[in-house]
Structure 1
Amino acid sequence: MHHLSPEMKSCIDECLHCYSVCLSTAMGHCLELGGKHTEKQHFTLMMACAEICRTSAHFMLIGSEHHKHTCGECAEICNECADDCERIGDMQECVEACRRCAESCREMAA
């Protein structure tokens, strides 16, 4: 197995945590509440966020040099998702997971 730096290991953890939080929040919290929580733009953004987090973690785990690109995109989408979840409200866990992941991915992409 290739060597993962502590920074990369930490970023993988943040990505997988954000993936889990976004997906479970969307599928549980948002679907239960409906209304603005299930508006197409918001719900699609949450699904995109979960998927890019999972993909970025995957790229780092397999040692792909392309992780810089996925992490760059991940940071952007996580920020967008955090802003949108904040706008809608009552989604603090998701906001925090997205912000932490964005920060970690921004460093990996650099």
Structure 2
Amino acid sequence: MHNHQSPEMKACIDECLACYRECVSTAMGHCLETGGEHTKPEHFRLVTVCAEICRTSAHFMLVGSEHHMHVCRECAEICSQCADDCERIGDMQSCVDACRRCADSCLKMAA
């Protein structure tokens, strides 16, 4: 198997997959069980969209697509929005942290 991923790209893939797991877990567990602000459509949609762009970013890097930079740029933007919204609502610090780490890592990949 030929794997030409830089250490930075491997780290970004790991952050994206970790953020994907955290956002899905947060949405389907914490948010649905907590209700209220956590299940308002705008917030719930943002968390699930964040999960999907993280998974997509990881996939683009794993398959070696030259388009990964564009996807990573969008991923960083969505992760930042998700982190801000989770922080605003509160009681989702692990999601906030995962999103911020992913956004930082994806910004480096987008450069």
Question: TM-score higher than 0.5 here?
Answer: yes
Per-residue deviation, residues 82-102 of structure 1 (Å, max 9, x unmatched): 000000000000000000000
Per-residue deviation, residues 56-94 of structure 1 (Å, max 9, x unmatched): 000000000000000000000000000000000000000
Q: Is contact 1:2-1:63 (8 Å) kept?
A: no
Q: Is contact 1:45-1:81 (8 Å) kept?
A: yes
| Superposed CA RMSD | 0.5
Matched to 1:23, the amino acid is V
Runs of at least 5 residues in structure 1 that lack an aligned partner in the other structure? none
2:96 aligned residue = 95
Shift of 1:2: 3.3
Q: What aligned pairs does 1:21-40 form with structure 2 within 5 A after superposition?
A: 21-40=22-41
Which structure 1 residue ranges, 4+ long, deviate > 4 Å from structure 2? none
User: What secondary structure, in the 3-state scheme, does the structure 1 residue paired with 2:29 have?
Assistant: helix
Give distance in 2, aligned partners of 1:13 and 1:70. 16
Per-residue deviation, residues 11-33 of structure 1 (Å, max 9, x unmatched): 00000000000000100000000
Matched to 1:53, the amino acid is C
Q: Is contact 1:23-1:46 (8 Å) kept?
A: yes
Shift of 1:48: 0.5
User: What secondary structure, in the 3-state scheme, does the structure 1 residue paired with 2:5 have?
Assistant: coil
Instruction: State the percentage of identical aligned residues.
Output: 75
Runs of at least 5 residues in structure 2 that lack an aligned partner in the other structure? none
**TM-score normalised to the size of structure 1?**
0.99
